[in-house]
Amino acid sequence: MRIAIYSRKSVFTGKGDSIENQIQLCKEYVNLHYPGENSIEIYEDEGFSGGNINRPKFQELLKDAREKKFDCLICYRLDRISRNVSDFSTLIEELNDLKISFVSIKEQFDTSTPMGRAMMYISSVFAQLERETIAERVRDNMIELAKHGRWLGGTPPLGFDSEAMVYIDEEMKEKKMSKLKVNKEEIELVKTIYRKFLELGSIHQATVFLQQNRLCGKRGKLLSASAVSKIITNPVYVKSNDDVLDYLRSIDIQVFGRKDGYGILTYNKRDSKFNKRDKEEWIAAVSKHKGIIEPNDWLLAQRLLDKNREKSKTFRLGTSSKGLFSGLVRCAKCGSPMRITYGRNNKHYYTCTRRVQSKNALCDNPTASGPDFDKAVLDNIMTVDTSKFLNGLNSNSKIIEDDKEKINKINTEINNKKKQLDKLIENMALFDSDVTDILADKINALSREIKELQLQVNEVACTVEDATLENNNYELVINTLDKFKDNFNSIEEIKTKKALLSMLIDEIRWNGDTTEIEIDFWGSKKKV
């Protein structure tokens, strides 16, 4: 019988359910339940999670299964295959279609029988349910901590540092927690931000002031308009009182804790995939740190922001509709994005955002005339020679071919060493302790050599992956360029034109001093 053995471990280790142990137990199962001549192929993934099936050896196993290279797949435990019910059930169904049986020796499931298949599905469902329950418990616990105003970790907001604390809980057990403590230097900057915003009544004007005076946030970064807006809206800075808590409730945020002049922390704003949640799911809790901004000042700032947002809804709707390359152009001098602005007769321009925000203090790159800029870029695209991309494609194809050959050679060497390893393990039972000690040393040495070779395979495989991705980019650019040249002028809808350009171009840089335009195409860079 042709048998495949699959083993996986999420971290590199030689202890417990190591890959070597898993494989040995699977081999013993084969010898016991499938007497006679068997051919065994082993697939090993070490250092990979079971959360998905994007593992190199597992993908190789799937390929070989579809080519009918084995009749039975054996693993040590169900979760070695996958921890996701959907992935697992899809695999089992595909194996059934291919007439390949699946055995899990730990759970004693065999899909060659209807009862085995049913029990395996039930077990995988309960395993996933347990994991999800644990994850939910962790989340609920974090939310309960949040309700008590605990700092749950991460980068502290501007004006604060994180400080570890030790406390005694209700069961008289020592516990650790974190809280925010004031960073005296940074908090003065926060006070300045609030003062200038209330004075000027504009996020933009406050940002201009900060950038002109080179006032930086954490890690020495200049504060952008969005960063300033986040600081103004963050209740972490406000001295809590009834009016502040009522305001937060009025915008549908759940509020916990009593007003006492302490700052307010917000939690549960994003899900596990970092998608923003609805405000009804947010939690605001009076925290363990002192508030800095007076409640009336903070509430006034919120009202100003709300008023400015209402104005912006009716101001210049669709201002970037004319710029073909909006979102793709960056300043060649400072690296900032260049936005669309309008002059007389509604003519559009590409303008450096840092220059605007700092009123020329931090960048002096001249604006680009929109119509002239658009025409120059289009002319350059129309005259691009695709031979450069073809050369890159051919060069990468040669690299991929050579590296695949290298992987095959290393895998052959790995298989030879594994055969040596198997023989040594079998011989250990035949000799006394003195000899077995020598054999054990040889086994350990071979195991290290195999792991080193596997690391080499992984490194080369990464090179192949990168080269393949680059080839895909080359092909995309070549195909898109051909379609672009043939069809662009006949397209009337500007949204369609922009979509086609975004498939073709990664970034455009403009230097107003030299009028030089640099275009980075996806997959390759070409200076024009």
Assess contact for 40 and 24: CB atoms under 8 A.
Answer: no
- pLDDT (0 to 100) of residue 389: 64
Angle between helix axes 295-313 and 184-200 (nearest 10 degrees) is 50
- What tokens were used for 523? 């997959």
d(CA 214, CA 223): 9
Among the listed ranges 35-39, 169-173, 445-449, which one has the minimum average pLDDT value? 169-173
CA 96 to CA 99: how far, in whole Å?
Answer: 5
CA of residue 85 relative to chain centroid, distance? 23
Extract the runs of DSSP E, i.e. beta strands, from 183-272: 254-256, 262-267
pLDDT of residue 111: 66
Q: What is the pLDDT of residue 526?
A: 41
Q: Write b or e for each residue in 349-367: b if 16 or more Cβ atoms lie within 10 A of its Cβ, otherwise e.
A: bbbbbbbbbbeeebbebeb
Which of 102-111, 317-326, 341-350 is most confident?
Answer: 341-350
CA distance 173 to 462: 48
The more confident residue out of 270 and 286 is: 286
Confidence class of residue 428 from pLDDT cuts 50, 70 and 90? low
Computed over every residue of the chain, the mean pLDDT equals 79
Residue with tokens 């390759």: 524
Q: Is the entire prediction scored with pTM above 0.75?
A: no
Average pLDDT over residues 351-363: 86
Antiparallel, parallel or unpaired: β 2-9 and 72-75: parallel
**Are the C-beta atoms of 82 and 131 separated by less than 8 Å?**
no
pLDDT one-digit tens code per residue, 213-263: 888 888 888 888 889 999 999 999 999 999 999 999 998 888 888 878 889
Taking the C-alpha atoms of residue 278 and residue 139, their distance in angstroms, rounded to an integer, is 17
Band (pLDDT 50/70/90 cuts) for residue 458 is confident
How many beta carbons lie within 10 A of that of residue 328, not counting itself?
A: 22
Amino acid at 525: K
| All residues at 6 or more sequence positions from 456 whose CB lies less than 8 Å from its CB, including other chains | 410
List alpha helices for 78-202, DSSP H: 78-81, 85-97, 114-147, 184-200
pLDDT tens-digit map of 335-344: 888 988 887 7
For residues 395 and 389, what is the distance between their CA atoms, to the nearest angstrom? 10
Least confident of 74-83, 156-165, 384-393, 406-415: 384-393
| Cβ neighbours around 266 below 10 Å, total | 19
Taking the C-alpha atoms of 484, 485, 488 and 490 in order, what is their torsion angle to the nearest 10 degrees?
-140
Q: How far apart are CA 186 and CA 42, in angstroms?
A: 58
**Which whole number is the average pLDDT over 302-325?**
66
Q: How far apart are the first and last CA of the chain?
A: 62
